[in-house]
Structure 1
Amino acid sequence: MAVSVKVAELVEQFKLHVIVGNQGLQRNIKVADLYRPGLEMAGYFAYYPEERIQILGKTEMTFFEQLTETERLDRMNKLCAEETPCICITRGLEIPEELKKVASERNIPVLGSSVSTTTLASRITNFLENKLAPTTTVHGVLVDVYGVGVLITGGSGIGKSESALELVKRGHRLIADDAVEIRQTADNKLYGNAPDLIKHLLEIRGVGIINVMTLFGAGAVRNFKQITLVMRLETWGQDKQYDRLGLDEETIKIIDTEIPLMTIPVRPGRNLAVIIEVAAMNFRLKRMGYNAALQFTNRLTETIGEDMDDIE
């Protein structure tokens, strides 16, 4: 099912005035892009994007006033298309009678605002991009470790929540436990948050559900965080070969975005919280240009090369 936003939500969010078309407030807005129909006011409708919110500012309305009565009615008949969710008039400008007439007949909301055209368009675009962003829900734990959004995944009972609890005790912050809602922004960044029902809650087997904010304070939680690293916990396999240098770089695809993936083998005696903490710090160092594994490999290659020269 495609994500959409009701026109009524837009009216409530930005305190817009409904001039006509109250019965059309349940129309769906399906795209975040807005449109200023300048060419259409001149009569060119060949590529008119009728599915977008139409914004009329001072430029459009000044030109419209210069048209004949017949041309005005023609423009508004074409502007109020079947798929048009709503039409916004900015700067507190007067609403043309032709627009009121056609929009009222077709139940297309005409909304008024005193805000400037550019400002309103920017605010609405940001709001819609957030609301219409692709979303998914994954099973895991999201924590903020030294500013790195770490999504911890793995099978049930592997130790995700216990690791998150230890990280919180070490001064890091919990975003979500068990279910992480993820949305992808227009620039392909992933942001995670907890569903409202389980926000700030952590489930520890044998103890039960605890409220992290109540136990550790407001500084131990945050509402959302950009996900930049995924750590997959799995039971240690005796026959499986694990990366010991850190040169292999895996990724995992969430929605349409590739995210770095680290696989952490779990067995008794391993302090997962410390490993996750160090991995997050090492990830930050790599992003700053320092790769310890690569430097070690280069030094090793140089040493072998020198030894070979000595033998020759």
Structure 2
Amino acid sequence: MVKSVSVKELVDNTHLKVFSGEEYLDRPITTSDISRPGLELTGYFDYYPSERIQLLGITETSFAKHLPEEKLKDYMNRMCQPDTPAFVISTDLEPPQELIDATKKAHIPILESKLNTSRVLSNMTDFLEAKLAPRKSVHGVLVEVYGLGVLITGESGIGKSETALELVKRGHRLIADDRVEVYQRDEQALIGQAPKILSHLLEIRGIGIIDVMTLFGAGAVRSETKVDLVVHLDIWNKDTKYDRLGNNHDTVQFFDVELKELNIPVKPGRNLAIIIETAAMNFRANSMGYNATDVFNKELNGLIKKNEKNDGQNQNDKSKDDNNEVK
């Protein structure tokens, strides 16, 4: 099934106004690509992307004014296809009368904005890409820790929700519990949010479902955030080798985005909230170019070389003393 967004949703979320055709706002939008019909106004329709929103700015409307009336009427009628969602006019411009007539006949709405064309294009693209992007549901908890989106994963009952609750009490923010919907915003960014029915809610075994926003205030929740780091909680196993120096480079991939993953062993007595806070701060430090493991290795190598040099010097001194005793 092809995902779609209605023109009404676009109007409600991108500061657009309806110029005409308010009764046709239920038309579906199936692509985030926006078309600026410049070639079409010259009569070239061989590759006309009729399924896209058609955006007209100063360039298109100015060019249209210089076209003969019959030609412009023909072009506008040909642009109004059954799968064309809407026409958008930017910069508070007046739509050509030929476009108004053609859209009324084809039952297509005309939308308008006082913003310039680039701004309108950006707003619509951002909204449509977020709504139409492929989504994946992940079992886990998403929290924002020191401004970083941390996705906590692990087996059911291991303590993900309790850890999130402790983080909220420490001033961090909850995005989603139990199910996290993730989608790719661009080549490098993965966005996570809660399903609408689970927004602001946490399930704590023995207590039940709690509303984090009601108990801790609006500052304790967010609707969505960029996912920067994955922390996987694993039941402690003495036979498993865990990273102790921070040399691991484990990653997990969602769509085209690759994220760093930390594997944290869980056993009684470990304060997972503090560990995750520290992991977030360390991740930020690494992102800024500081790596404590590299510094430690560099200093250790320096110490080893220094000791080797001293040992060599001591050996030379001992050889000289032995030679002097022989003499």
The TM-score with structure 1 as length reference comes to 0.88
CA contact (8 A) 2:187 2:256 kept: no
Cα offset, 1:159, TM superposition: 1.0
CA contact (8 A) 2:175 2:225 kept: yes
In structure 2, the CA distance between the partners of 1:49 and 1:239, relative to structure 1 (3 Å rule), is same
In structure 2, the CA distance between the partners of 1:244 and 1:38, relative to structure 1 (3 Å rule), is same
Cα offset, 1:253, TM superposition: 0.8
Cα offset, 1:299, TM superposition: 1.8
CA contact (8 A) 1:134 1:185 kept: no
CA contact (8 A) 2:175 2:221 kept: yes
In structure 2, the CA distance between the partners of 1:146 and 1:122, relative to structure 1 (3 Å rule), is closer
State the partner residue of 2:277: 277
User: How many angstroms apart in 2 are the aligned matches of 1:299 and 1:144?
Assistant: 34
State the partner residue of 1:16: 17
Cα offset, 1:128, TM superposition: 2.0
State the partner residue of 2:173: 173
- Within a 5 Å distance, the mapping from 1:172-251 to structure 2 comes to 172-251=172-251
User: How many angstroms apart in 2 are the aligned matches of 1:165 and 1:142?
Assistant: 11
CA contact (8 A) 1:145 1:277 kept: yes
Q: Does 1:161 align with 2:161?
A: yes
Describe the SS at the equivalent of 1:88: strand
Q: Deviations for 1:233-278, whole angstroms, at most 9, x for unmatched residues?
A: 1112222211111011111112321111000111222222222122
User: How many angstroms apart in 2 are the aligned matches of 1:299 and 1:200?
Assistant: 46
Cα offset, 1:190, TM superposition: 1.9
Describe the SS at the equivalent of 2:298: helix
User: How many angstroms apart in 2 are the aligned matches of 1:298 and 1:50?
Assistant: 60
In structure 2, the CA distance between the partners of 1:54 and 1:202, relative to structure 1 (3 Å rule), is same
State the partner residue of 2:260: 260
- Within a 5 Å distance, the mapping from 1:143-162 to structure 2 comes to 143-162=143-162
User: How many angstroms apart in 1 are the aligned matches of 2:224 and 2:17?
Assistant: 29
- Identity, in percent, stands at 52
Unaligned runs of 5+ in 1: none
State the partner residue of 2:304: 304
Q: Deviations for 1:141-193, whole angstroms, at most 9, x for unmatched residues?
A: 11222222211100001111111222222232222211222232124312222
The TM-score with structure 2 as length reference comes to 0.84
Cα offset, 1:112, TM superposition: 4.2
Unaligned runs of 5+ in 2: 313-327
State the partner residue of 1:67: 67
In structure 2, the CA distance between the partners of 1:209 and 1:8, relative to structure 1 (3 Å rule), is closer
Cα offset, 1:122, TM superposition: 3.2
Q: Which residue identity is paired with 2:219? A: G
CA contact (8 A) 1:21 1:103 kept: no
CA contact (8 A) 1:21 1:107 kept: no
- Within a 5 Å distance, the mapping from 1:281-296 to structure 2 comes to 281-296=281-296
Q: Which residue identity is paired with 1:285? A: A
CA contact (8 A) 2:18 2:109 kept: no
CA contact (8 A) 2:187 2:257 kept: no
CA contact (8 A) 2:52 2:85 kept: yes
If you compute each CA radius of gyration, which structure gives the higher value, 1 or 2? 2
CA contact (8 A) 1:103 1:110 kept: yes
State the partner residue of 1:129: 129
In structure 2, the CA distance between the partners of 1:160 and 1:87, relative to structure 1 (3 Å rule), is same
- Within a 5 Å distance, the mapping from 1:4-153 to structure 2 comes to 4-13=4-13, 14-20=15-21, 22-23=23-24, 25-153=25-153
In structure 2, the CA distance between the partners of 1:151 and 1:12, relative to structure 1 (3 Å rule), is closer
CA contact (8 A) 1:200 1:221 kept: yes
Cα offset, 1:135, TM superposition: 2.3
Describe the SS at the equivalent of 1:40: helix
User: How many angstroms apart in 2 are the aligned matches of 1:303 and 1:36?
Assistant: 65
In structure 2, the CA distance between the partners of 1:282 and 1:109, relative to structure 1 (3 Å rule), is same
CA contact (8 A) 2:18 2:111 kept: yes
CA contact (8 A) 2:236 2:267 kept: yes
User: How many angstroms apart in 2 are the aligned matches of 1:239 and 1:90?
Assistant: 64
Describe the SS at the equivalent of 1:263: strand
Q: Name the count of aligned residue pairs.
A: 311
In structure 2, the CA distance between the partners of 1:66 and 1:220, relative to structure 1 (3 Å rule), is closer
Describe the SS at the equivalent of 1:237: coil
User: How many angstroms apart in 1 are the aligned matches of 2:52 and 2:229?
Assistant: 35
RMSD: 2.5
Q: Which residue identity is paired with 2:170? A: R
Q: Which residue identity is paired with 2:189? A: K
